[in-house]
Chains A and B, each alone.
Chain A
Amino acid sequence: MDFAFTPEQEEFRRTVRAFAEREIAPRAGEIDERGEFPVDLVLEMGRLGLFGLPFPEEYGGSGADFTALCIAIEEVGRVDQSMGITLEAAVGLGAMPIWMFGSEEQRRSWLPPLARGERIAGFGLTEPEAGSDSGATRTRAVLDGGEWVIDGSKAFITNVGTPISQHVTITAVTGESKGRKEISNIIVPVGTPGFQAAPPYRKVGWHASDTRALSFDGCRVAEGNLLGARGEGFRNFLAVLDAGRVGVGALAVGLIQGCLDQSVAYAKERRQFGRPIAEFQAIRFKIADMAVAADLARLAVYRAAWMKDRGMPFKREAAQAKLFATEAAVSAAREAVQIHGGYGLMEEYPVARFYRDSKVLEIGEGTSEVQRLVIARELLGSG
């Protein structure tokens, strides 16, 4: 049994924390208020190698592993959830499908700019009427003269409408066999005629993260843009989401830790009834609970990451980590605001932003309900 990070992982955590505190934290409030995707900041994160962590150096990556990625997501998320999800989605949903299912040629042509953090990409799964029921996908792709012709729309897609967005990998119905939809993954480069990203949504949280609806209207891409085998699209995105859930779990751990650090500092400073509120049991208990949540969520997330890095099956562990960490994050944000009292509702305090940013964690990349379904299915079989 060994619960320690390696000295190199610890050093990496310190480095990302220093970067996050010096470069990201001072801008977090402003980019949130303006709903601005900060291209320069994302490119700086790229120069630090964060977007290439789980990929080999020959594809522009850092040659690290998934655990290192989780450390980076956690530390960025501790100061700013918008940049945290930008990183998580760019690697987990943008680059990872190319790495996992791409041919050698596809990896060579699409992966290096992503791994180097010069470009980002997205994954287009959710549709207006296909959320948790992703099998209800309506977007269609038909082969015509050596090209896929794509028609349909996607909803709530991250990282596809920025000035550095390279492509989106979509799920599309490419046929039917035995009465079942055949779903495949297709790479659609940004700028392809017939493919449009709508203006950004107005969201409750994650204001500086780019989220848009996408539409495809007779959009034509090369037949070679099929990613993975035809008809494997459903199975492939489920595999992508397993890892993505651990990443979102790491983002939630960052949020809990951020709430905890802010609350500890505030409780020592804020005085009521002639003493710091840190001396009141009501506050002490909240902070104790938050520390427990941070620790348990962290253990669950890094165990799942550790299992993935060792090639072990980790589907249930990933779902458990995501479920526990994100629900704990929503509680932590609520209690952190409570500790801050009226000031917790003021945007000058990061906990106000954390509060708005927390809820989506229970929804994105599989709702809490879907996680429970996955966990139960692993234990009981299909219900």
Chain B
Amino acid sequence: MNITVCIKQVPDPNQPYKLSGTRLDREAVQPVLDPGDEFGVEAGLKLAEAHGGEVTVLSMGPAKAMEAMRRALSMGAHKGILVSDEALAGADAQATAQVLAAAIKRNPFDLVIAGTESADGSTGAVPAMIAELLGVPQATFAKQLEVKEGTLTIHRQTQEGYDVVECALPAVLTVTSGVNEPRYPTFKGIMQAKNKPVEQLSAADLGLSVAASQQVAAVNPAPARGQGEIFEDDGTGAARIADFLKNAKVI
């Protein structure tokens, strides 16, 4: 199986973020491999271990994104492709999907794996767009997955439980953070990652000249969580809490 895992370097989501205009200040916070992508890499590695084949990690980002790429390679991915181009700074979801799809298309592929959304942009749109651009089916929000005789079967996480979704390969798959337990890189893996091949491409190498079709007009902080309601128990506390929860449709 030829598996491509899309990854992204993001500012450490566990650190407070800083804005520079309407964009994240990426210099201010330690960049890391998007924690959600570790599940994608693990899923790819597991499939390659079970079915043979290679895992390629693919990313679009500045030269510094090589650190995130090395992290994925140290987990065991075989090779990498980094699309890095000044002209791509500020690319929106559609531009990103065009670049990634163009990079994937250059070689035969069986499966493209991504997280459900990035920890910084959080559009969650890129994987679906890649599937569309590649003209292959997409199976998304997998909390469990299996590949058998050219068919991908997943348990698709829903509000109520899960749907069983099946599609033929090649396909695009997105995985939730419950799908597996990402391995820790070993020392050996970290040393080997240094010498694994990473192809570096520009937009021109992909024959693309893409531009963002969206502009971020403004950025507002999420409203702080309210104080919550305090019920003083005068003997009717339990009933009032039950009513409150009923109104909120929790029970």
Stretch at the interface among A56-64, A214-222, A369-377: A56-64
Instruction: Tell me if A143 counts as interface (CB < 8 A to partner B).
Output: no
- Residues of chain A contacted by B190 (CB below 8 angstroms): 8, 11-12, 15
- Residues of chain A contacted by B188 (CB below 8 angstroms): 49, 57, 62-64
Instruction: Tell me if B240 counts as interface (CB < 8 A to partner A).
Output: no
Instruction: Tell me if B194 counts as interface (CB < 8 A to partner A).
Output: yes
Within the complex, what minimum Cβ distance (angstroms) separates A126 from chain B? 31
Total A-B Cβ pairs within 8 A:
33
In residues 13-49 of chain A, which contact B (Cβ within 8 Å)?
A: 15, 18-19, 48-49
**How far does the alpha carbon of A222 sit from the alpha carbon of B22 in the complex, in Å?**
74
**How far does the alpha carbon of A11 sit from the alpha carbon of B73 in the complex, in Å?**
12
**How far does the alpha carbon of A8 sit from the alpha carbon of B190 in the complex, in Å?**
6
Instruction: Tell me if B155 counts as interface (CB < 8 A to partner A).
Output: no
Instruction: Tell me if B244 counts as interface (CB < 8 A to partner A).
Output: no
Inter-chain contact B186/A11, CB cutoff 8 Å: no
Most buried by A among B70, B186, B187, B194: B187
**How far does the alpha carbon of A8 sit from the alpha carbon of B188 in the complex, in Å?**
10
Inter-chain contact A8/B194, CB cutoff 8 Å: yes
Proximity bits, B174-194, A CB within 8 Å = 1, else 0: 000000000011111011001
Within the complex, what minimum Cβ distance (angstroms) separates B38 from chain A? 10
Inter-chain contact A8/B191, CB cutoff 8 Å: yes
Instruction: Tell me if B71 counts as interface (CB < 8 A to partner A).
Output: yes
Instruction: Tell me if B74 counts as interface (CB < 8 A to partner A).
Output: yes
Inter-chain contact A62/B184, CB cutoff 8 Å: no
Inter-chain contact A19/B184, CB cutoff 8 Å: yes
Chain A contact patch, size range: 10 to 19
In residues 45-94 of chain A, which contact B (Cβ within 8 Å)?
A: 48-49, 53, 57, 62-64, 68
- Residues of chain A contacted by B74 (CB below 8 angstroms): 11, 15
Proximity bits, B190-233, A CB within 8 Å = 1, else 0: 11001000000000000000000000000000000000000000
Inter-chain contact A62/B186, CB cutoff 8 Å: yes
Q: Identify the closest chain A residue to B70 (Cβ).
A: A11
- Residues of chain B contacted by A19 (CB below 8 angstroms): 184
Q: Identify the closest chain A residue to B71 (Cβ).
A: A11
If A8-B194, A11-B70 touch, whether A18 touches B184 (CB-CB below 8 Å) is yes
- Residues of chain B contacted by A68 (CB below 8 angstroms): 187
Q: Which of B185, B187, B194 contacts A53 (CB 8 A)?
A: B187
**How far does the alpha carbon of A12 sit from the alpha carbon of B194 in the complex, in Å?**
13
Proximity bits, A297-326, B CB within 8 Å = 1, else 0: 000000000000000000000000000000
Q: Identify the closest chain A residue to B194 (Cβ).
A: A8
A→B interface (CB under 8 Å): 8, 11-12, 15, 18-19, 48-49, 53, 57, 62-64, 68
Shortest Cβ-Cβ A-B pairs, 9 listed = A49-B186, A62-B187, A64-B187, A62-B188, A11-B190, A19-B184, A8-B190, A15-B185, A15-B184
For the complex with contacts A8-B190, A12-B187, A15-B184, 10 further pairs of A-B residues with Cβ separation under 8 Å are: A8-B194, A11-B70, A12-B190, A15-B74, A18-B184, A19-B184, A48-B186, A62-B186, A63-B188, A68-B187
